[in-house]
Structure 1
Amino acid sequence: MSLLHDLITPPLRAALTAIGKRRLPTISGTLKLPGLGSPVEVLRDRWGVPHIYAQSEPDAFMAQGYVHAQDRLWQMELNRRTANGRLSQIFGDLALDTDRAALTFGFRRLGVADWERLDAGLRRAMEAYAAGVNAYLQSPEYRAPVEFTLLGLKPAPWTVEDSMAFSRVMIWQLSHAWYGELLRAWLIEKVGAEHAAELEIDYPRLNPVTLPDGIEFNVRSAKGALHAARGPFLTRSMGSNAWTVAGARTTTGKPYLCNDMHLALGLPGLWYEIQISAGALKVGGVSPPGVPMVLVGHNERVAWGMTLAFTDCEDLFVEQLEDGPAPRTRFGKGWKAVQVIEEAIPVKGRRQPHLERVLVTHHGPIISDVVGASDRRLAVCSMALRPSPALTGWYRLNHARGWDDFVAAMRLIEAPQLNVPYADVDGNIGYWVTGKVPIRKRGDGRTPAPGHSADHEWTGEVPFEAMPHTFNPRRGLVVTTNQKLVSDRYRYALGRVYMNGYRARRIEQVLGAKPKVGPEDFRALHLNFTCLPGQEFVQRLRGFSTRDARAGQALELLCGWDGVLSPDSIGGTVYEITRTRLVRNLLEPGIGKDLSTRLMGQGFHPVLLASHEFYGHDTVAMLRMLDNPKSWWVKQAGGRQAVIERSLIEAIEWLRATLGADASRWQWGRIHRAPFDHPLGMQKPLDRIFSRGPVPVGGDTDTPCQTAVAPENPYDNRSWSPSFRQIVDLSDLTRSTITTVPGQSGRLGSPHYDDFIEPWRKGETHPMLWTRAQVEKELEGKLVLEP
């Protein structure tokens, strides 16, 4: 079969690419767009980025819908099918579990509820956006992307409900705490609370927290924003990086805001770069195809970024359910009714739809069947599954003129839980944690609570003013990399759902090493492969002795390693494989392979929850166990000497079997590669037509350039990577830079289908063109849309 694929793939790829080229959208000329109030100009630069110039915001957002559909229609189709539970209609039984989960969580139902909470301006924007998508579908220039042809699909009209439902998927994908509760419960059932405690998340002492006391507010620089500092915490002070640097510490004397969001790679990419100019609104950055406006970027006065805050905003409840025609669940001394929602899922290849019975308790939906825990009735209670005006928050952020506007926008983002760094042209920097965090009557939310008891309910929320935030911190720097947010002095419980902080420590080391820093320093940080836990691991092995030649070779390579996981590193390769084998050798004797894999980071679903709070903490737990002579896990594995030696031997044997006996060929980039998989690439030979890569990369989960690995495939970069990088220069916005990956267009045959991959791999960015004069110097096409 491989030979047959080799024979048919080149001509098939050439034919489909040629078809794709003939169907590329129009980017120059004049087109009619019924519904516009005035003409709109769309100037595309040589990177394929559209710059929209309109007289009104509705016209601008209609044009945004139009260009999104031109370049990313196939991706938008998948996005709305994911949100609406309709993937099985085109992919059959393969996608049924995803659809069942989407309908259980109720993304479309939540989107409908959210619509009622949008302000009037955003409603007009959403309606205009949908009209723009549909105008493209009805335009004479519309030519279907080749994916639609291969699957025999015709896209239905786009609706505001599609955008709203997709926005809820994005919010849910950033919620992790509930699955950690389930894993913790399984772990305790397996080995007991005492031994499970050894694997509990424990933040490394030397790694920095974002804001030790939760709030720092420099009143001397507040410029009218003092009202935002209400509350009792006015003091001195999981997957992305962001930092803001005050002008006193930069080469320009003005702030910089840098951000690289670590998310799953794929083809098309998650982000679409765009600039919108419409009356008083001028904003540029990245947007997710399927919703209007800019999610992360800057306008004429302020810049913002985004990382995941990992606050604990959800709980699992074990319900005592009485099923039947009118199901109910026990609560306190009585019962509460359970809502029943019947969903019919059309499945390709089946004559009859799959019928899904969704049960929604007063805590939230019963999710047992979709997460593989059918032996108990689990309901998930989550801030991410409540109606939210979050989109209005982002809409106002696009329009923000200063700190007060920024704070007002943050208040509306009730979910997801995000770190949002801030900088403005007046020289201010700041930061706020968004998202509502519950106050629990009892317990800390680490394990599932009894749903029948009224003693574990949420009694309120952490006040918005008390959420961690800072404005013009005295040290002139805010670094947020999903690390622990606050010290234990902070009054409220935000949970223990955070990453291990090694990236934050390294970024602070680099930024603190020079009196003044600038864009070259930031670009270097975006590609920094220093692995601090790897260095700590090697220190623990110095003095370790072995008589086995294989273990000795591994020790020699490790002790000669500089701690940098560059793509050509050999010692780094030995570290990664030894680390993985050592974690497994420590865990598997006690809990088996499956639960070990889950604790190492495997989520319950590759789309709807790819990971959880334990991810990245297996390395920290391993280091802690090696330092603990009484560790139960080490004893189960045969003792410290035996488990280390066995892991070193297994690493060398794996390398010899995989890469050959010549150690000079054991470069990290040969096994650590970033794939850009297209959904149709699941079927050979379409993988070699639509997908790209994999390409060799450096780094791992703990390096500033985070290229995370998945425990089920522990060396390829199949978890997440920098999906976007930006460096915003608040002294001169025209000097800001950006990159996404793999390219602007999702159209096979487009020159912008994959042209960002190699620059991304090298850490290069391109100008974030801001003025019209800049755009016209780099012009690729000018499209005029007329009413």
Structure 2
Amino acid sequence: MASIFRWSLRLFLALAGLAILAVVIALWFASRSLPDYDASYRLDGVSGPVEIVRDNANVPHVFGESDPDVFFGLGFAHAQDRLWQMMLLRRTAQGRLSEIFGQRTVRTDELLRRLDLYNLATRSVDVQTPYATEALRAYADGVNAWLAQVNDGAMGRGAPEFFLFSPQIAPWQPADSIALAKLMALQLNSHLPNEVLRARVSLQMDDPRVEDIMPSPAGNGIATLPEYASLVPGAEDAPGTRLASLPPEDPLYPVKPLGLGGASNAWAADTSRSASGGTLLANDPHLGLTAPSVWYLARLELESGGVIGGSLPGVPSILLGRSSELGWGLTSSYLDDVDVHIERLNPDNPEEVLTPEGWKPLRERTSIVLIKDAEPITLTLRWSDNGPVLPGRHFDLETITPPGHVASVSWTVLSPADTSVSAGLELLKAKTVPDAIDAMEGFIAPSQNLTLVDRETVGMKMIGAAPRRADGHQSKGRLPTPGWIADNRWDGRLPYTTNPEFVGPAGGIVGNTNNKTVDRPFPLHVSYSWGDTQRVQRWRRLMQSREVHTRESFMEAQLDTVSFTARSLLPLIGADLWFTGEAAPEGTPERLRQRALDLVASWNGEMNEHLPEPLIYAAWMRALQSRLITDELGPLADEFARLEPLFIERVYRDVNGASVWCDVVQSARVETCSDMARLALDDALIWISERYGTALESLRWGDAHEAVHEHPVLGEVSGLSWLFNIRQSTSGGDNTLQRGRTAGDGPNPFRNVSAAGYRGIYDFADPDSSLFVISTGQSGHPLSRHYDDLGELWRRGEYIPMTLDPELARAAAVGVTRIEPAR
């Protein structure tokens, strides 16, 4: 027995030793891809010395003797820190993910091939300005120079992920950068799925009720729409009309769920509203949280001067930031720049569709998708005059497409002459607000509101191509329409001068929270669907609460977690519940309800991670909306997993008879809205009790509202997620200025999945006192100390300095990379 024990112990120790050895070897190989920031190189592709000074936050400050050399340095730095991220995004845009991931990403590849984004990007290379062409080529040379170093120096394949997936990396091309910009437009778009969802709801209920659940912000506009079935006869017989949505997308699917498209905040104050006497600008774009962040901080010392701020790995530009004379920020404009068309197939020849001039053949091209460990598939790509034809399995199109028809998409980003990158590079050289507005005329997509400040002036301009729709467009862009009717087709673009513009406002402040910006009749309306109706109310209060602002007051607004939505809805919903009835015995559901009501009654609406009230409120509103819509919408109710504040307000104010939603259709009695409020609160408290217990006072919103910065590939792999994912307790919520968009569904419906991945505040009284931060760290390598070092600052609402002073950048720098011409 003793002998067996000794041999078992030896075997266990041997296996444990081998396991430890394997981990050590794996970590050693993975660490080989950590770049040496103090190295020197002699490389082809530069005309003179290039220096990359990385400050103590690992922000590269790139210096060179010419602009192309500086863009070379940026490409080199991007590749050093974010190589896997760049290659993954390029594969996504190319529709080539399945070559390394197999069957799971075939649907993603098919969508990107049918949209033809990469081919359109390749064709767009030829229309860039000479300056942009040179920048794109130099940037690509910088990326490829780092790839050569990885290959020649056996540097761990460039990133740990390449040990798990194909290490074959094609050289970077200028078209790759343009494709990544187009991919961003796809990720930010919400109008296409919104059109389809509105059509699905329209097939199920009357128009007034559609306007309840998918309301438009207040202001002039259209009050009603034609029924979708009247626009497209036969749509009610579409396969799957009354089925639930298709299964959840793969994490790599580029189209975000409804409500997770682009969101953002930006505001600016001129010298008359600034305590320091200099203009102020704050910007924080909201995107899905990933590890590493979408954003990468960088400084470029160009011939026109230094620029610093947030860049996208793969794109040679500073998308958000400042120079010494100009600051700029971006918010999603919600321009309706996409339309879905229903195309009628020729019953005698399904390769033809009906047009205003008669039957016309679809254009076709084949495309082969290679799939790891499976046979390749051949796609037949088709286009009508309106745009690419998409199968019904994308965007739930099959649920609204009648038999004998197909769906096509018109979309500004599908331009083969996309000069957005050129426009963005011209912005870097602008010195004044008018110069910047002129520079962005060639910007196509994604449409944004560009908030600007120079030394004296503030302004905001919507950038991006706006489609020219006919006055007689049947749905005004809000529903899919027959593609064979001339009035439903686009007639080019509207002039750039018609894009909304606000320069030098009398009040001295401009801003946008994705809210409605103009009240103009169709077709100059911009949109009927906006990204915010709530945050803007809190922003307006904060901006008007003081005569002058400071960098600190802008910071407070950016980090504000008070929910205007909670403060306005709770008194409305709980009007008949507060302090009613006698005290109930401890341990009863009634007593639990009284305790919950007592807590939220004295709450100021602050969505602080340490408080219990935000969790009670969020669970209550989620349960209430579910109770109101499930009987009417059935499976479609799953599409409205997040709170729609305007819907709840319409119901409880009985706008146009909206209180009818409170009655449960299937029950004999007539339920009131007070009944629904009480029942929903009980539902919420049961859910909370099962997950967090009945000690309501000790609940923490942050336990439910955990920010999940997830690696897009390895984040769900058991044993690796702990290394690649970053999780943090966070404040904020769906409708706070410090936005933390909740998932809405799944086992953790309140997890924070979309937030401000970048925050910047620029004070032109003292530009080098400007601040910024990103949500993770600069490096995409999980073994780097810069993988998540900025993430904790971000969580706590802290920032790092934003300086164009080269000496400050060199102080305590983590390394200086020097590049000399090879000959």
TM-score, normalization by structure 2: 0.85
Give the structure 2 partner of residue 434 of structure 1: 463
Change (3 A) 1:314 1:338: same
Give the structure 2 partner of residue 3 of structure 1: none
Match of 1:596 among 615, 637, 655: 637
Q: Answer whether contact 2:345 2:354 (CA < 8 A) is retained.
A: yes
Structure 1 letter corresponding to 2:365: I
Moved more, 139-148 or 677-686: 139-148
Moved more, 491-500 or 24-33: 491-500
Change (3 A) 1:45 1:718: same
Tell me, yes or no, if structure 1 residue 102 matches structure 2 residue 134. Answer: no
Partners of 2:174 and 2:701 in 1: CA distance: 46
Match of 1:117 among 110, 123, 127: 127
Give the structure 2 partner of residue 385 of structure 1: 414
Question: Aligned with 2:631: secondary structure?
Answer: helix
Measure how far apart 1:718 and its partner are: 4.4
Q: Matches of residues 690-729 of structure 1 in structure 2 within 5 Å?
A: 690-693=724-727, 695-713=728-746, 715-729=749-763
Tell me, yes or no, if structure 1 residue 30 matches structure 2 residue 40. Answer: yes
Partners of 1:203 and 1:61 in 2: CA distance: 43
Deviations 1:115-161 (A, max 9, x none): 12211111111111111111111124444211101224232222222
Give the structure 1 partner of residue 429 of structure 2: 399
Change (3 A) 1:152 1:381: closer
Question: Aligned with 2:203: secondary structure?
Answer: helix
Measure how far apart 1:374 and its partner are: 2.8
Deviations 1:578-598 (A, max 9, x none): 0011111111111114x2222
Tell me, yes or no, if structure 1 residue 347 matches structure 2 residue 371. Answer: yes
Question: Aligned with 2:413: secondary structure?
Answer: helix
Give the structure 1 partner of residue 812 of structure 2: 778
Partners of 1:110 and 1:517 in 2: CA distance: 45
Deviations 1:444-492 (A, max 9, x none): 1111111122232223543321211111111000010100011357982
Match of 2:389 among 347, 366, 370: 366
Partners of 1:8 and 1:655 in 2: CA distance: 45
Question: Aligned with 1:370: secondary structure?
Answer: coil
Q: Answer whether contact 2:608 2:732 (CA < 8 A) is retained.
A: yes
Q: Answer whether contact 2:306 2:804 (CA < 8 A) is retained.
A: no
Partners of 2:441 and 2:19 in 1: CA distance: 52
Partners of 1:497 and 1:380 in 2: CA distance: 18
Partners of 2:761 and 2:19 in 1: CA distance: 40
Structure 2 letter corresponding to 1:309: S
Tell me, yes or no, if structure 1 residue 159 matches structure 2 residue 182. Answer: no
Match of 1:579 among 618, 621, 641: 621
Q: How many pairs does the alignment contain?
A: 732
Give the structure 2 partner of residue 74 of structure 1: 84
Q: Matches of residues 143-158 of structure 1 in structure 2 within 5 Å?
A: 143-144=156-157, 145-158=159-172
- Rg larger for: 2
Measure how far apart 1:711 and its partner are: 2.2
Give the structure 2 partner of residue 732 of structure 1: 766
Give the structure 1 partner of residue 611 of structure 2: 569
Tell me, yes or no, if structure 1 residue 633 matches structure 2 residue 661. Answer: yes
Question: Aligned with 1:636: secondary structure?
Answer: coil
Partners of 1:52 and 1:323 in 2: CA distance: 61
Structure 2 portions without partners, runs of 5+? 1-15, 221-261, 582-589, 666-670
Give the structure 1 partner of residue 529 of structure 2: 497
Question: Aligned with 2:427: secondary structure?
Answer: helix
Q: Answer whether contact 1:526 1:763 (CA < 8 A) is retained.
A: no
Moved more, 136-145 or 468-477: 136-145
Tell me, yes or no, if structure 1 residue 267 matches structure 2 residue 291. Answer: yes
Moved more, 476-485 or 140-149: 140-149
Moved more, 105-114 or 263-272: 105-114
Give the structure 1 partner of residue 798 of structure 2: 764
Give the structure 2 partner of residue 467 of structure 1: 499
Structure 1 letter corresponding to 2:767: L
Partners of 2:132 and 2:664 in 1: CA distance: 58
Structure 2 letter corresponding to 1:134: N
Partners of 2:528 and 2:632 in 1: CA distance: 24
Measure how far apart 1:300 and its partner are: 2.4
Measure how far apart 1:199 and its partner are: 1.9
Partners of 1:130 and 1:326 in 2: CA distance: 43
Deviations 1:231-270 (A, max 9, x none): xxxxxxx510000111111121110111001011111110
Question: Aligned with 2:531: secondary structure?
Answer: coil
Structure 1 letter corresponding to 2:207: A
Measure how far apart 1:691 and its partner are: 1.3
Partners of 1:564 and 1:95 in 2: CA distance: 41
Question: Aligned with 2:461: secondary structure?
Answer: strand
Partners of 2:315 and 2:349 in 1: CA distance: 39
Partners of 2:275 and 2:203 in 1: CA distance: 56
Change (3 A) 1:8 1:493: farther
Measure how far apart 1:204 and its partner are: 5.4
Q: Matches of residues 129-208 of structure 1 in structure 2 within 5 Å?
A: 129-139=139-149, 140-141=152-153, 142-144=155-157, 145-203=159-217
Measure how far apart 1:763 and its partner are: 0.8
Partners of 2:365 and 2:169 in 1: CA distance: 27
Question: Aligned with 1:517: secondary structure?
Answer: coil
Tell me, yes or no, if structure 1 residue 743 matches structure 2 residue 743. Answer: no
Structure 1 letter corresponding to 2:328: W
Measure how far apart 1:16 and its partner are: 4.7
Deviations 1:337-358 (A, max 9, x none): 21112111111121x2122222
Tell me, yes or no, if structure 1 residue 252 matches structure 2 residue 262. Answer: no
Match of 1:556 among 598, 602, 616: 598
Q: Answer whether contact 1:16 1:146 (CA < 8 A) is retained.
A: no
Measure how far apart 1:163 and its partner are: 1.8
Partners of 2:428 and 2:182 in 1: CA distance: 19
Change (3 A) 1:428 1:355: same
Q: Answer whether contact 1:659 1:665 (CA < 8 A) is retained.
A: no
Partners of 1:98 and 1:710 in 2: CA distance: 21
Structure 2 letter corresponding to 1:398: L
Change (3 A) 1:129 1:177: same
Q: Answer whether contact 2:518 2:525 (CA < 8 A) is retained.
A: no
Match of 1:624 among 626, 646, 650: 650
Deviations 1:679-714 (A, max 9, x none): 212211111121121x11111111000100122246
Measure how far apart 1:570 and its partner are: 1.0
Question: Aligned with 1:432: secondary structure?
Answer: strand
Question: Aligned with 1:598: secondary structure?
Answer: helix
Tell me, yes or no, if structure 1 residue 656 matches structure 2 residue 680. Answer: no
Partners of 1:566 and 1:457 in 2: CA distance: 48
Tell me, yes or no, if structure 1 residue 455 matches structure 2 residue 468. Answer: no
Moved more, 174-183 or 636-645: 636-645
Measure how far apart 1:776 and its partner are: 1.6
Q: Answer whether contact 2:516 2:530 (CA < 8 A) is retained.
A: yes
Partners of 1:10 and 1:397 in 2: CA distance: 53
Change (3 A) 1:81 1:491: closer
Partners of 2:78 and 2:591 in 1: CA distance: 58
Give the structure 1 partner of residue 477 of structure 2: 445
Kindly, what percent of the aligned residue pairs are identical? 27
Change (3 A) 1:12 1:672: farther
Give the structure 2 partner of residue 220 of structure 1: none
Change (3 A) 1:374 1:355: farther
Structure 1 portions without partners, runs of 5+? 1-5, 207-237, 602-615
Structure 1 letter corresponding to 2:323: N
Give the structure 1 partner of residue 447 of structure 2: 417
Give the structure 2 partner of residue 54 of structure 1: 64
Moved more, 242-251 or 168-177: 168-177
TM-score, normalization by structure 1: 0.89
Question: Aligned with 1:190: secondary structure?
Answer: coil
Q: Matches of residues 276-291 of structure 1 in structure 2 within 5 Å?
A: 276-291=300-315
Q: Answer whether contact 1:531 1:564 (CA < 8 A) is retained.
A: yes
Partners of 2:95 and 2:347 in 1: CA distance: 24
